Every structure is written in C-alpha cells, then in structure tokens.
Chain A
Amino acid sequence: MSLMKYESQVRPPLVVGDKDYHQVTEDIVRPIEARPSGLWWIGFLVSVALLLFGVYSVYREVVYGTGQWNLHKTVGWGWDITNFVWWVGIGHAGTLISAILLLFRQGWRTGVNRAAEAMTIFAVMCAGQFPIWHMGRVWMAFFVLPYPNTRGPLWVNFNSPLLWDVFAISTYFTVSLLFWYTGLLPDLATVRDRARLKWRKYMYGMLSFGWTGSTKHWQRHESLSLVLAGLSTPLVLSVHTVVSFDFATSVIPGWHTTIFPPYFVAGAIFSGFAMVQTLLLVTRKVLSLEEYITIEHIEVMNKVIVLTGSIVGIAYLTELFVAWYGQNTFEMWAFMENRANPFSPYGWAYWLMMSCNVLSPQIFWFRKLRRNITVTFFMSVIVNIGMWFERFVIIVTSLYRDYLPSSWATYYTPTIWEIGFYLGTFGLFFTCYFLFSKFFPVIAIAEIKHILKRSGDNYKEHMDVVEKKHSDELFVEAHAEHH
C-alpha cells in the first residue's frame, strides 16, 4: 500500500456494486422503461379489486348511514378513527427521512427517501378518507372549511381539535406532495431524455416542468428542497401532536392524557419506519435494487425502530404509573381494568399491543437480527399490527367503559363494511404504490449520484495505473509535464 492511495474505511459504502453514474441511471430507470412483470400485474389487480371493495363499502355507508358500522351510542369511534390515526402515523417516516435526515446530512437517506415520501403521500391520502367518510352527513363535509359563506356567515369552531386536524392533515399533505414532487423533477427529466416513445417524452416532458439541468435550476432546486425540508421538519412533530389532541384535549379517561403528543409522534415514526421496511424489502427484491437499498439501510432503520419502540414502551408504562399514582377512580379503571386486566373484554388487545410494540422490537438489540432480512420483514409487519392495536386500544377501550357504568357498552366488533373500508384503503395505497413504482423512479437518481463516491473511485483507479508504473517513468512524465 502506497502512501498515495491510503484509504480510511470510516463506514461501508452506501451504494455497493461499484456503480458509475450511467449504471445508476440504467438500474433505476430500467423498470420504468420495461414492460411490467406478471407479478406487478397480479399485485396491481389485487389492489384495484380491494380498492373497489372499499368503494362499495363506503357507498353502503353513505347511502344507508353510519349504522352500516357497528359503532354505537357509547363507542362513537372505532375502526374509522383507528385506521385514520394508523395511516397518518405511517406517513411520518417518509417525512422524517426526507426532511429531518436531509437537514442532518444523513447520506443514507437518498437510497430510501423517494419511496418513503411516496408512501407518506399515499398513506396520508388513505388516512384522509376516514375522517371524511366517517361523517354522518359527508355531503356537508365542506362545513369544516373556514371560508366566507352565505350561511350566516357561519364560521368553523376553532376550539375543536378535529378542525385542527383538518388544517394539520391538509398542510401536511400539501407540503409532502410538493417536497416529493420537487425531488422528482430532475429524475423525471432524466426519464424524459431517455424516452424513445413520443407519448413518454410528452408525458415526462410535462411532468418535469421543463427541467434542463442548468446550474440555475439546480441552485433553485437545492434551495427549495431546503426550504421545504425546513417546513416539513416541524410538521413531523406537529401533525401527530395535533392528531393526539383529538384525544388529549377530551375529558374521557384514557384519552385525557398530557403524555400523548410525544408518545404519538414516537409511535408514528415507529410504525412509519416499519412500513418503510415492509415496502422497501419487497421493492428492492422485485426491482433488483439490492445494491442501492443495502443491508446497511435496513440496519439503520431497525435501529430507529428499536429506539422509537422503546420510547413508546416507556410511554405505556408511564401511563400506567400515572394512572396508579393519580388515584383517579375513572383513570384507574380505564388503565387497570379496561386495558391492563388481561381478562377484561379488550384485555387481549392491550397485551397484543404490548407484545408487538414493546417486547418484540427488543430483538433488534442483536446486530445479527438487525441485519437479517426475513426477521426484519416479519418484525415490520408485527410492529404495524401492534401500532394498529395501540390506536384501537386507546380509542375503543377508553370509550366503551367511561364515566357512567350505565352506558358501558356491549362488545364492539366491526361489520364487513368497516373492514371493507379499511381494506379499501389498502387497495388505494397499493394501487398508488404500484403505479408509482411503474411510472416513477423509486430511488432518487439525482440524489443518489451525490453520494456515489465516484470522484474518489476515479482517483483510486487512476492511482492503480500510476502505481503500476516504474518510478523513473513517473519522474519522466512529471518532468515532461513541467515543460
């Protein structure tokens, strides 16, 4: 080893396989240009079928009333809001990856941010369906928009956390969409430039907004990305905080809890990363992107999962402690009887949540398991089941036995149309995701090229040539250059 080629291996490379810039473009754009595989078609059609079932389920609910669901006078929210909070939570990882990690200059984010951001947008789209369609009179949904009107004019109630949700979710969706699309521009231009078919050229030409790759474009792109990252960063914290206010500002024992904002944010990131894992493990396999989404990415995300999972666990224990320490009859009952008592009607849901969210992620303390793809995939599904149950436990077990025992409810189980609505949002999510993976680059081509250590590798290759030469020869060359 000569002094000229001393290499300090601080961390493993983010992209493996000795890629050059052209190869990167080839690898990522290939699925867009090729015909979709049979597997893609199957997945896509299943998703569309689910979506259509969801549409029918919602149709039933809109035409025949919310009575199509098993909600009742005591449990006014069930699967609808559970699913809403769950989907919103899932969205959080994308924003965290794209915004916060950008600000913290985490290079590894480039491998996963595009897909994660897409996931955010689709998840928020799915989430948004629930608060809209769960309304008894959805055709009056526009009443929640504060605009000058002829009905009085009647204004919205700014005291209501549900109204805050309207603002939080719509802002979140808008900013996420802009951020995602801004990042897509150079890549869409790349696809456009490579396109041979006229319609492709036209379509991607439209989508890329006339991106030419000029320095000015790049400069504006970078600035805008930074601004949007700055905007998104507080949103990562605020959106789920606002969602948690739906519960925290209420008077219902089990909901009325000051710990909710941080606990919800941690839970959101927790479930979001799990969903990213689920999606990317499939995507990298199907689209052969193992060299871009490496085991290092997976391990890093598993570390986030074990961290946030433990935060969530501490939050659960804190709730229990405070319920005991506070000695408030109603809160005690909500936590000790409705939840922690394994033999109470919904005790199973609480302990399912506990084991999925708190116990099982602890296996990621072991490096070997962190880097095991099968284990990771399995765990990512487990975590999302657990997080779904967290929301279910909070919503349903608090409501079904609250202050007046006279109103304590019969067992709440969903009807087929409630399940159908949930499945429908899976349909929506995956329909969008399949279309996205077919028509858009699932990895940020331009951004991944930033972290391709191409200049260093070029230097090394050059030095390999130089090292092979005799020192005299080198001297002659050097001398000749001076003249």
Chain B
Amino acid sequence: MANKKYWQSFSEYNESEQHSRLAADEFREELPSVAADAGRELETSGATRRDFLKYLGFSTAAAALAASCENPVNKAIPFVNKPDNFTPGVADYYATTYVCDGESVPVVAKVRDGRPIKIEGNTLSAFTKGGTSARVQASVLDLYDTSRQRFPMANGNAVSWEQLDKMVGDALRSSGQIVLLSGTVTSPSAKQVISEFLAKYPGSKQVQYDAISYSGMLLANESSYGRRAIPSYRFENAKVVVSLGADFLGTWLDPITFQRAFASTRKVTSAQTDMSKFYAFESMLSMTGANADERFTHKPSEAGAVASALLNALNSGTATGITNAKLKAGIEKAAKDLKAAAGAAVVVSGSNNPAVQTVVNAINEAIGANGKTIDWSVTNQTKQGLDSEFATLVADMEGGRIGALIVLDVNPAYNYFDGKRFADGLKKVKTSIALSYKQDETAELCKFIAPVHHYLESWGDAEAYSGHVSMMQPTISPLFSTRQYQDSLLKWTGNTTSYENYFRNFWTTRTGSADNYMKALQDGVIEAAAATAPAGTYNAGAATAAATSVGSAQKAGAVELVLYENVAMGDGRHANNPWLQELPDPITKACWDNYVMVSPKFGREVLGVDLTSQRDADEYEVHTNKPNVSVKAGNKEIILPALIIPGMNDDTIAIALGYGRSSAGNDETVTARKIGRAANGAGKNAVGFALYNGATVDRFNTGVTISKVDGTYKIAQNQTHNSYEGRHNVLQELTLQELKEHPTAILDERANELKPWGGLKDFEKEGSPYPVYDRPGAKWGMSIDLNACFGCGACVVACNAENNVPVVGKNEVLRFHDMHWMRIDRYFTGNPNDPDSIQTIFQPMLCQHCDNAPCENVCPVAATSHSSEGINQMIYNRCIGTRYCANNCPYKVRRFNWADYTGADSFQDNQPHEGTGALNDAVFMMNDDLTRMVLNPDVTVRSRGVMEKCSFCIQRQQEGKLKAKKENRPLAESDASVACAQACPANAIVFGNVNSQSSEINKTRSEGRNRLFYVLEQLHTLPSVSYLAKVRNSPTAGDHAIEEAGGHAMPAAHEPAEH
C-alpha cells in the first residue's frame, strides 16, 4: 500500500520524456526577487516592480502598524479559585451608612471586584428616600485618600497596634482626668462603647464638638421646650416657608431630607397646580436664598432684629424696629402669609444665637408650626455639641486640669475659631491620643495616633433621627493598618470582644433575633413606625426676654462679615477631596479656593468695577485675575481675592469656611503629605473671625474693615457670565400668577415659534429636509424640573464618580479646561444695585442627546454618532480631536482632553512638565495607584486628545438591557437609570424610556406639559432632554424683573427661528 502510485494521465503513468519535461517546467521560473540572488549588490540586482511593490507594501503596513500601536497590554490574572458569591465584572451592593461627624446618610455602596466605587442613596430610608449630597457622593474617594494615616504612631514613630495599645493603656491609667473629645455621636452601639469606656476611667467625660455648631438652637429649644434637642422639620407640609439665614437646602442640618420634602411642594403639574411660598431673609446670597420666591437682605447682626420684627409683625401687623423700608415691608408681607397659612408654615433660622432661636421658636408657636411642620416626636440627633462645653474644655486644658485627651476624629486645631488656643492647651495635656483619619492639624499635635477606618471599612450604626437607625457594614477589608475607633475604645476599656461581635450582639439583642439583625444589615435601615407628630410642650417664658435682647443686637459698624459653610467643603473635612474641591460653588461657580464675596456696591465703590456698566462687567468677567482685598478684625488679617456677587447685602461680605488647611509650620510639602495634595494651597482659613458671645460661637463678625490691596489672585470659575440675557430659548421662567392666568403661555409661545415649520406636532419632520426615521424599541429621554433643582451639585459629583470624569486641577479650570459632563448653570436676573431684586435660577446642563445633533455631522471621522435608542454616542478610539463637534455644539457640553489628565495616554511621562499647561498636584494625586481604585471599570478612561461628554450613563442602560434579556422579560423602568437622576435628593431629574407609555418620564412630561420646553428648540436639534420651566411664587420673574430694574438685556422683541 505504501508504494501505491496515483497518476493523473497516461503520460505520467508511462513516465514519458515529454511529461518529465513538462513537469519540470511547470513553474517555469523563480519569482524574481532580490533575495533570490544574494550575491549581487542591491542597486545592480535590478529590483523588479514586484519587489518594489513588496517593499512599499511592507513598509506602509509596518508604518501603519507602528502608528496604530496603542498602550502596552497589561494582562489581568484570573482567580485560581473563584471566591464564592463573587463574579468578576458583576457589581455587589452593600447597604451601609455615610457618617461624617453627626451627619449620617443611609447609602448603598456599589462594589466591583472588591472595590467600592460608587455610593447611592438608600431608598428604604424614610427620610432621605435615596437622596444623596455632593459630599456623600464624593465620600468614596476619601477611602482612597493618599494622605490617610496608614499605621499607628506614638511620639512621631510608627508602632504596632500591640505596642500602641500598651503605651496608651499605661498612659491612660497614669493620667488624670480623661476627656473624650468627639463630634456628635449618633451611633447607639458606639454610645454604649463610649459609656463603658468612660465608666472604666472614673472622672472621665465626653465632650461633643461640632465645628459648625447648632448650640444656639439646642439651648433655645431647652428653654422653649425643655429639651436640648432639635426637632425634625416637615417641609412637605409647609405652604409658607421663611428662612432667616438657614441654608436648609444646602448645608443646614439635613439638606438631603429637606430638599426632597421642599421640592415636593414646588413641582407644579397639572395635578398639583399650587406651590409653596418661600421667603428668605439673609445677609449673603446662600444657595437656599437663591431659591427663594422673595428674598430680603440685612446685615448679619440684624438677624435677631429681623426675627423679633417678624414676631411683632405676626402679633401686631407691623415690623417694629426695622428702619429699612423694603426689609420692613418684606417682613410684614411674610408675616401676613405665615399667618394666613397657620399650621402649614415654618420658620427656620441659621443663627447660632440662643436668643434669636428662642424668638424663632416663638414665631413657630405663633404660626402653629409645632406638631405640623415641626415634629418633636422624632428628633434630629446629628448636632449635639455645645460651644460652651468646648470652651470650658479649652480653659481646662489651658489650666492643666486635663490629664488625657482622646480626640475622636475632630479637628479643632483647624476649625475652632480660636484654634491656636486649643493647640496651645493641647500641649499642656499629658496624654493626647488622636483617633484620626489622617495627620490633620489636631492629630499631628497628639502623642499617639490610632488611625481609624473609613466608613466603608467599618461596622457601625447611626441614629440620625430618633428611632430611625441606619446600619453600617464594611464593603472592603481595611486598606491600611487602621482600626475603627470603637475597637480601640473597647481595647482600652479592657474588653477583648471585637467591635464586630459587640455590634452583632448589640443589634441581635435589640432586634430580637439574628435573622432580624441580618435583615437590618441587608436593608441598611431600621425604621420606627411612623408616629403622629405630637407637639412639643412650649414654654413662652424666655421668648419675651430674648426678643428684647436680640432686638437691640444691631451694631452700626459699616461692614460685617459672614462666615458660611459651602456645599462642598463643610467644616474643612472634605478639603482633600478633589471631586469636592473641583465642584463649583452653586452661587459663585468658583472652585479650589475661597474668596471674599462682596456686593456690586462694594465692587463699584472700592474695587472700581461697576457691574451695571457693560464695559466694566465684560472686563471683569473675561479675566480670571480678581483684585485682592484685606479683611481685618482686631489683630486678625486675611488677604483674599474679592468676587462681586449680586444679591449680597451692600454692607456684608462673606468668606467660606473649610479652606486653608495647613500643617503646623505651614510647610507646603508637609501639608501635602499629611493633609493632602488637593487641600494644599486651596484658599485660606477664615474661621478665626468668628466671635464667641459667651454661650455660643457666632459665625459672623461685626467689626471688620475691608480695603483693597495691591495685587490680584486668579480665581477658577467655570461660569463667568451671570445673566442669560433674556434668552427665552435658553430658559423659561414665569410667575405662579402668570401660569395660573395663562396656563399654556409657554406652550403657545413654542407653538407660535414653530408654526412655520410644522408646529409642535410636526416640527421634527417639517423642520428639516432630511428624512426622519422611526425609533422603535427604547428611546431614552430626560426631564429636568427647574423648580426642583436647587443647585447643590450632588448630580455633578455623582456623574464624576460614575463616569471617571477626570479632575483637572485649578490651573486647568482657570484655563476653562474643566471636564465636568454635568454642570449647573446659574443665572442672575434683577438689578445688581438692588440685592433684594436679584433672582437666581439653576439650570443643570448636560449633553442634550439631540436627535438631529450638530456635533454628529461635522465630525470628519464619524467618531460621534447616534444610536437607535436616541443616544448621542462618543467613540473615543475613533476620535482624532479636531474639536469641531465642541465648537458646533450650541449647548457647549462637549469636553476635550487637553492634556493627559488620567495617565491613560500612550505617550510615556508626558504629565509632569513646567510652563504652559502645567498640571496641579491634585491631578497627580488622582493618578495614584491607590486613588485609581475608585475608577469605574465599566467606563473607559479617556486619553489625551479625545472629546468626551455625557453618555446618559450608557453602561447602565446596557447593563439593564442585558439583565432584562437574561431574565427574558421586557425592559422595566427600574432597569436603567442615570447617576445624576439617582443622586438628586430633590428628584429634579427624571430619566427613562420615552417610548414606554407607562414610564415616569412620560408622566412627568405630560403632567408638566404646560411648563415643558427644550433649550434652543428652534434650532431643530431635537434634544432628548426636556426642561420644566421655573415657576416663581413672586410678583416678577426673569427678564421682566430686569426690564423693571432697568438692567441691560438685548432689545429683542421677537426671536424668529434660526433658519
């Protein structure tokens, strides 16, 4: 068989000569090539056309290959043994609780491959109902803070936990009085741990210190209601709200809850045609004041006078003691409305003065708020610190009466108004222990540092509202050699139980069974049964005296200073969070710094900038250099740039707290290492200007002088123009009166505008010569209610976290290179010279996902295209960076990677460089291997030179669709959401499938159709984002107010469609 021969022809079979010849010549000649004749030189070898083509082909292919080579491939190594209940690439969600001092918010942490990467609100919470704030959203980044204290320290040296425990144990036994200095502790189990600890050391005590204290309220409530507590506020029941300088939508007490409740009274729909009325009386322009229907300003020292005038006006009809006619009329009007809405009205005050708060209590009694809008059955426990107790402690420290001070993650050396006195006192304390997250200003002064966990690494609980407990469980094993403070205290008490077990036993006992405990842990919350709100027992005794005392608390000083807390920085704890540092302030739109907010009057008279002159205003806004001013009070002086903000009281200036973090010695490298690279150099600390009135700390100063000094300072703002110039196509606002009288005003205006091009119904088809395609299946859309957007920025940070939006640092924001996909545009209307006339509007702006997108057709390489589901997509690896799309975007929402912000570039070492475009340290901090653990693996990290923008969180839609597909069911409403909508505490943003008749978005659009508009609709961009117009429950709205005030606006009576 092996020798069997096959033949094809007879000649082959016969092996004829002819066949052999033919077979030999079958391939007559070698293909010509240079290599075939290696002996010859190249130029004489007569390279043929084929060779030439081969060389050409090879070199072109090689060049093309070389040119298209991307990053080196980093191999991921799979698990050898897959852990149970864990699938790589599938996220797990753990209910836990965001805790920051007293503030606690029930949240759900998204954990991907063992790393928490995103925080969502816990929808099971009776209070927040799934809402979050910018700080909560950003808190996940703190877990990966590069400046965390990573190991225990004693006397400046690293020690082991065993050594530390021994040393601390010895020290505590031999010290005199032990004081545990903490923020407000709301955790029931931790309270028990603390009391056990205190019991172990007789004579020891706990002092609670709130950097932004509410002592005034606590004391006032004690005298009015006999309870040193804060009630819960029910804004959802209020038809009239008066805020006396309380930033309840931004920072005051529990803004997440308040926003949701307040927003529910503001959403005017066909079903709910009325809305609440909100008056604000304040000194500076706060975020909350910016959302007021009517707003009146006064000097901060007049807060008491205003409160007592309001009380008088309620009783007698006249606001006695107020000389300013406008303010007086405002108070009387507010009083009239409050009276009319008795039982459905509430007055809140941001003052920290007990007398003022006592008067406010009297007002609330007078309008029947107690039991209706103010609920004493559930108290807010998040603020319990008394300024006087802390002042006593400082005095005791100075007097050497304190033997040991355990500082439980508070930072009075930085944020106490007299931080230096505290620091000096600390030196006299024999044993100082910091249970601290990092070596902050206070911890670095302590002998021992026992570093604590991040809340995402911790067990625990929090009872922000009495009876409403939120549970905490670790979502990642501790990154560093840290230990949660409860464990440390248990150790030092001599208890060998771990806190985890302690906590489990505690709650198993309380909930009755291990199963109940597990359920509570899973749900994250234990909610008390809803109690009917019994009124607190009011005691009017103190009110009269208080009213008299505050009525006279008015000084004649020319300029007064307000120290305020902004939504991002709080008391300064968040200073090293780049997401929060880069979050623009809702009012000033500035980031990475604090500054002096001054009124236009001050700008005109002292800075020489007249905002009513267009020439001055232009000059002022197009340059980032802002004039420096010196603020002096007593021997304290601070030099900061001034920002002119309309709506500021003429005689008031304001500085934000929480900036100017700095280690002792003010060494920048040390500060960067200990406190953080993002916090380093951001702003200045102004807390020293606060005044102690004997009982509480007043966060204002009546005795300041302010003057212009030489030099300027660059302020990074990502919005510089303040007016929307009466452009109806951009923003629609109207008064409630107008809406009631003419409900279809906006609809009619739109219909009239679009009439020549098919009207509202056929505009899509008739407005364009091109064919319109059907979109079966899903069609994603968004609706944003301008009445419910208060400008807090939770959505912005949520978007940053979800979509790996890079932090660019101050230098780049200064150059208008900010990368935020989601921004909140803020416009003022009114007369800059009259602070009371200023109205503010917030408009969240993101990619509008136009169905006829101007960006799509101009891209030469089709890097941005439209999906069949109506999403305007960005294909990063197709993008060559011509920026034409960004230029042609009427909404200016596209963001270009001007530099290598993420380290995702194929060019090596191109981030650090000097000169033009040098990046801030914060950018490098964000590129640290530790910090990069926060990145969402579902979203590409963009490299330099490509365009990016909002994607409608397409990764979430995709995940939702796959989930539905796997479960073999149609897509449900709950399958897909976007980060911004989910984060919004006020539910201002609704997202969903427009093609689904039952969807929330359809309901919102149809119920709100009288307010519905699209931005720049007449351009025929066909946006997928619709807005619901701002309705003001005030006599004027928007550009009507401008015209009345004689401000400048483009004299355009009618705007025909752009065509």
| Chain A residues in the interface with B (C-beta under 8 A) | 60, 63-68, 70-77, 131, 134-144, 154-157, 159-163, 166, 246, 249-253, 256, 326-333, 337, 343-345, 399, 401-411, 415-417
Contacts and interface: CB of A to CB of B under 8 A. Distances in A.
**Highest count of chain B CB atoms <10 Å: which of A72, A144, A405:** A405
Interface stretch (B106-114, B249-257, B832-840, B894-902): B894-902
Contacts of A401: 721
Contact of A135 (B881, B891, B894): B881
Q: What 3 A-B pairs have minimum CB-CB distances, sorted nearest first?
A: A136-B881, A136-B945, A67-B898
B1054 interface: yes
Nearest to A405: B721
B859 A72 contact: no
A256 B887 CA distance: 12
A160 B916 contact: no
20 contacts: A67-B917, A74-B816, A134-B883, A135-B880, A136-B880, A137-B879, A142-B64, A144-B860, A144-B861, A144-B880, A162-B882, A250-B888, A251-B890, A329-B729, A329-B1052, A405-B727, A406-B826, A406-B827, A406-B845, A407-B719
Contacts of B64: 142
A141 B723 CA distance: 40
Binding site of B, secondary structure by majority: helix, strand, loop or mixed? loop
Contacts of A405: 721, 723-725, 727, 730, 827
Given A252-B888, A404-B825, A408-B720, A157 B622 contact: no
Question: Which residue of A66, A68, A136, A416 has the most chain B CB atoms within 10 A of its CB atom?
Answer: A136
Given A65-B898, A328-B1055, A408-B721, A251 B888 contact: yes
B1054 A64 contact: no
A404 B890 contact: yes
Contacts of B622: 345, 409-411
Nearest to B721: A408
B1055 A343 contact: no
Given A327-B1052, A399-B887, A405-B727, A67 B892 contact: no
B624 interface: yes
Contacts of B619: 345
B815 interface: yes
A329 B860 contact: no
Contacts of A160: 857-860, 884
Question: Interface of chain A, helix or strand or loop or mixed?
Answer: loop
A135 B618 contact: no
Given A162-B860, A250-B888, A330-B1058, A140 B880 contact: yes
B618 A417 contact: no
A66 B67 contact: no
Contacts of B843: 406
B910 A64 contact: yes
Contacts of A403: 727, 729-730, 890-892, 1016
B829 to A, nearest CB: 12
B862 A155 contact: yes
A229 B878 CA distance: 39
Which one of A131, A407, A411 has the greatest number of beta carbons of chain B within 10 Å? A407
A450 to B, nearest CB: 41
Contact of B860 (A166, A253, A256): A166
A72 B1019 contact: no
B818 interface: yes
Given A73-B895, A76-B886, A332-B1050, A137 B946 contact: yes
Contacts of A333: 725, 1050
A154 B878 contact: yes
Nearest to B589: A406
Nearest to B891: A404
B890 A135 contact: no
B174 to A, nearest CB: 59
Interface in B124-174: none
User: Which of B621, B721, B817, B898 has the most C-beta atoms of chain A within 10 angstroms of its own C-beta?
Assistant: B898
Interface in B902-955: 907, 910, 913, 916-917, 943-947
B860 A157 contact: yes
A272 B769 CA distance: 37
B816 A409 contact: yes
Given A63-B910, A403-B890, A156 B862 contact: yes
Contacts of A345: 618-619, 622
Q: Which of B67, B615, B623, B892 lies at the interface centre, i.e. has the most chain A CB atoms within 10 A of its CB?
A: B892
B845 A76 contact: no
A143 B730 contact: no
Given A406-B721, A409-B720, A64 B913 contact: yes
B854 interface: yes
Contacts of A135: 880-882, 945
B293 interface: no
B634 interface: no
Contacts of A343: 614-615, 618
Contact of A329 (B723, B727, B917): B727
A330 B860 CA distance: 27
Contact of A76 (B621, B721, B896): B896
Interface in B786-832: 812, 815-818, 823, 825-827
A348 to B, nearest CB: 12
A230 B619 CA distance: 52
B694 interface: no
A249 B944 CA distance: 28
Given A406-B827, A410-B622, A410-B623, A136 B944 contact: yes
A154 B861 CA distance: 9
Contacts of B883: 66, 71, 76-77, 134, 136
Nearest to B820: A73
A67 B812 contact: yes
Given A65-B899, A136-B897, 9 more contacts: A68-B917, A76-B883, A137-B879, A141-B880, A143-B878, A343-B614, A402-B890, A403-B891, A407-B892
Given A328-B1055, A404-B845, A411-B623, A73 B892 contact: yes
B890 A332 contact: no
A395 B818 CA distance: 21
A345 B1019 CA distance: 27
B1056 interface: yes
Nearest to B66: A139
B854 A250 contact: yes
A343 B615 CA distance: 6
Given A162-B860, A327-B1054, A405-B727, A68 B887 contact: no
A67 B890 contact: no
A246 B68 CA distance: 28
B817 A72 contact: yes
Most buried by B among A64, A337, A401, A404: A404
A156 B916 contact: no
Contacts of A162: 858-860, 882, 884
A403 B729 CA distance: 9
Given A65-B944, A327-B1056, A74 B896 contact: no
Contacts of B861: 143-144, 154, 156-157
A253 B843 CA distance: 22
Nearest to A67: B898
B618 A344 contact: yes
A137 B881 contact: yes
Contacts of B880: 135-138, 140-141, 143-144
A408 B827 CA distance: 12
Contacts of B887: 76-77, 250, 252, 399
Contacts of A137: 879-881, 943-946
Contacts of B913: 64
B860 A67 contact: no
Given A134-B882, A136-B881, A328-B1056, A154 B854 contact: no
Nearest to A416: B916
Contact of A66 (B720, B812, B898): B898
A399 B907 CA distance: 31
Nearest to A401: B721
Given A67-B812, A72-B816, A403-B891, A327 B724 contact: no
